[in-house]
Amino acid sequence: MNVRNWYIGFLVFTLFSCDNFVLKKENKKDIIKESLQKLNWNEVEQPPLFDLCKEKSTEDLESCFQHTITQHIYNYLTEHPITVKETIKDTIWVPLLITKDGKIILEDFNLPSNIQKQIPTLKDKLKKSINSLPNVKPAHTRSTPVTTLYKLPLVIHVE
């Protein structure tokens, strides 16, 4: 009789614990949604990419991206000379938002007061320079285009 009670108890236990062992059929959309939520959107696997950087190695992509922007801004500012009354030697951090659609947007930022006084049009010139950049492909995380924010150091040395 004791063995019979044990079997009945085992059968009852097995029937009630079956919920945990049943595989549930998941919807493909739910799986994708869940994996997108697990992505670390702060880390990008591939930085934004200009066409001229395509031939670079994976390690050089980000530096090529930054160099292209820096060189473009430098060329633009060289074509539009700036005159100042006092020498300026300073570094500003220019925040650039690269959207998942590949648009580069100059985010608002504050200039140091000495630069603001001597070069009041600097932000406008930077904005025009950024707007004239070549097309860029957005950064990617797991083959998904993502919006990224870069803070580009811009050394200002005007005499």
110-128 pLDDT tens trace: 999 888 898 899 999 999 9
Report the predicted TM-score, pTM, of the whole model to 2 decimal places. Answer: 0.68
For residue 145 the two structure tokens come to 């285009």
Q: Can you name the residues that pair with 88 across neighbouring β-strands?
A: 158
Kindly state whether residues 7 and 74 are assigned to the same domain: no
Task: Report how far residue 9's alpha carbon sits from residue 2's, in angstroms, rounded to the nearest whole number.
Answer: 11
Q: Say if residues 87 and 159 touch (Cβ distance below 8 Å).
A: yes
130 within domain boundaries: yes
37-94 pLDDT tens trace: 555 545 777 888 888 888 777 778 888 888 898 899 889 988 988 888 888 888 889 9
Q: What angle do CA 35, 40, 41 make, to 5 degrees?
A: 105
Confidence at 142, pLDDT banded by 50, 70, 90: confident
Kindly state whether residues 74 and 53 are assigned to the same domain: yes
Q: Domain total for the chain?
A: 2
Q: Could you tell me how far CA 119 lies from the centroid of its own chain?
A: 30
Kindly state whether residues 30 and 102 are assigned to the same domain: no
Domain extent for 112: 49-158
27 versus 122: the higher-pLDDT residue is 122
44 within domain boundaries: no
